[in-house]
Amino acid sequence: MKRIGLLTSGGDAPGMNAAIRAVVRTAIYYGIEVYGIERGYSGLIEDRMSPMEMRSVSNIVQRGGTILRTARCLEMLTEEGQKQAVSTLEKHGIEGLVVIGGDGSFRGAKCLTENYGIATIGIPGTIDNDLQYTDYTLGFDTAVNTCLEMVNKLRDTMTSHERISVVEVMGRHCGDIALYTGITSGAEIIIVPEVPYDMEDIVMRINRSRENGKHSNIVVVAEGVMSAEAFTKQLQEVTSYSVRATNIGHIQRGGSPSMADRMLAAQFGNKAVRLLKDGIGNRVVGIHDNHIIDMDILEAVSMKKQFDYELYETLQMISM
Ligand code: ATP
């Protein structure tokens, strides 16, 4: 393989830049040219791309966001859009494509391989950790660390005023950000899409913690269940403690990637190019049991994300 393309697609995630760097540097190591495609599949359809050199990726390993920028592209869902994307790749002599994004982006990559024979490799870049085939997605660790920093600060002020803090974190269908933030911040309650909540039980747990000498409470709610504002309203109706709402919002998508995310980015980017170099496409890379793995794209996107109920129970036992 002489020339490959690289794009970031869907929601951005810390570590995408580090993965871009790893892809470009590995490709250069093997003598493969890399074209950086701007704004995800939109850039592919509109032919917005340029060659990337060793120095194109200098000084980005520590930066959040994506230097290639990202977009959602409805045209890619149509046959016409896909044909246009393929014709751009052919025009530039690009034989393989690395796609950094979530499951939607992987579906786009699968289309290009199955219908048009373009070798594609997916790198899981999304803060949600909503892909079952990999233990972690790129950006998740940094996002949770950002949430932790916010919750630590909230805990200070909530304790001074003896309040309850309801903190909204991202996660439309997957409660992993709430689960991991909850356990590692010492939150008393987490509310996730995978487990129905019981307001009576929540009030009982809060009251019990106060009887045991606690001066504040943290409730972490995933956005997919409801907003912090809405939950605060519900909770305030059934408790005499003062409740305050905070939505961490887009802050959790930015920032310098953690060591864990930079390490994943280096390994994922490297593995992606090594697969393409060997003529292997239609795969996604991931990490399982501390080993870098690759898997068929369709198989990976068909796997239903399993919630970790054991971790959820752990939180129930130790946060009181
Ligand atoms: P995140 O998890 O951060 O939302 P994502 O990759 O799942 O990331 P999506 O918006 O679902 O984000 O998908 C990104 C882009 O991938 C879409 O805008 C579209 O261009 C392309 N895409 C999604 N699904 C398909 C599909 N079934 N066929 C072709 N292309 C697709």
**Average model confidence (pLDDT) for the chain?**
97
Helical (H) or strand (E) element with 44: helix 40-45
Written as six digits, the tokens of 79 are 């046959």
* pLDDT for 320: 80
CA dist 86 → 21, 110, 123, 272, 287 (Å): 24, 13, 20, 20, 30
pLDDT at residue 119 greater than cutoff 90:
yes
Backbone conformation region of residue 36, classed left if phi is above 0, alpha if psi is from -120 to 50, else beta: beta
| Ligand 1 nearest atom to the CA of residue 9, by list position | 14
**CB atoms < 10 A from the CB of 314, how many?**
13
Q: What's the rounded mean pLDDT across residues 23-47?
A: 98
Of the residues 12, 47, 103, 128, which is catalytic? 128
Residue nearest to atom 20 of ligand 1 (CA): 73
List pLDDT tens digits, range 152-207.
Answer: 999 999 999 999 999 999 999 999 999 999 999 999 999 999 999 999 999 999 99
Q: What's the rounded mean pLDDT across residues 10-26?
A: 98
Q: In a mutational test of the pocket of ligand 1, which residue from 46, 74, 76 has the highest number of ligand atoms less than 8 Å from its CB?
A: 76
Q: Which of 110, 101, 102 is nearest to 131 (CA)?
A: 102
* pLDDT for 251: 97
Q: How far is the CA of 19 from the centre of ligand 1 (A)?
A: 19
| Ligand 1 nearest atom to the CA of residue 75, by list position | 20
Q: Long-range contacts: 191-199, Cβ < 8 Å, 24+?
A: 191/219, 191/220, 191/221, 191/222, 191/225, 191/231, 192/222, 192/224, 192/225, 192/307, 192/312, 193/222, 193/224, 193/225, 194/307, 195/307, 195/309, 195/312, 197/225, 199/234, 199/235, 199/238
List pLDDT tens digits, range 45-86.
Answer: 999 999 999 999 999 999 999 999 999 999 999 999 999 999
pLDDT at residue 230 greater than cutoff 90:
yes
CA dihedral over 288, 290, 291, 294, signed as positive or negative = positive
pLDDT at residue 39 greater than cutoff 90:
yes
Q: How far is the CA of 218 from the centre of ligand 1 (A)?
A: 34
Residue nearest to atom 31 of ligand 1 (CA): 108
Q: Are 131 and 103 in contact (CB under 8 A)?
A: yes
Q: Which of 235, 168, 233, 222 is nearest to 195 (CA)?
A: 222
Residue nearest to atom 10 of ligand 1 (CA): 10
pLDDT classification of 317: cutoffs 50, 70, 90: very high
Number of residues that this document lists for the chain: 320
| Ligand 1 nearest atom to the CA of residue 126, by list position | 3
Q: How far is the CA of 47 from the centre of ligand 1 (A)?
A: 19
pLDDT over 70 for what percent of the chain?
Answer: 100
pLDDT classification of 36: cutoffs 50, 70, 90: very high
Q: How far is the CA of 236 from the centre of ligand 1 (A)?
A: 38
CA dihedral over 136, 250, 60, 3, signed as positive or negative = positive
What is the phi/psi pair of residue 246, to 5°? -140, 130
- Give residues (CB < 6 A) around ligand 1: 9-11, 41, 72-73, 76-77, 101-105, 107-108, 111, 126, 128
| Ligand 1 nearest atom to the CA of residue 82, by list position | 29
Residue 254, helix vs strand vs coil: coil
Q: Is 130 a catalytic residue?
A: no
Q: How far is the CA of 265 from the centre of ligand 1 (A)?
A: 20
List pLDDT tens digits, range 245-301.
Answer: 999 999 999 999 999 999 999 999 999 999 999 999 999 999 999 999 999 999 999
pLDDT at residue 121 greater than cutoff 90:
yes
Q: How far is the CA of 154 from the centre of ligand 1 (A)?
A: 34
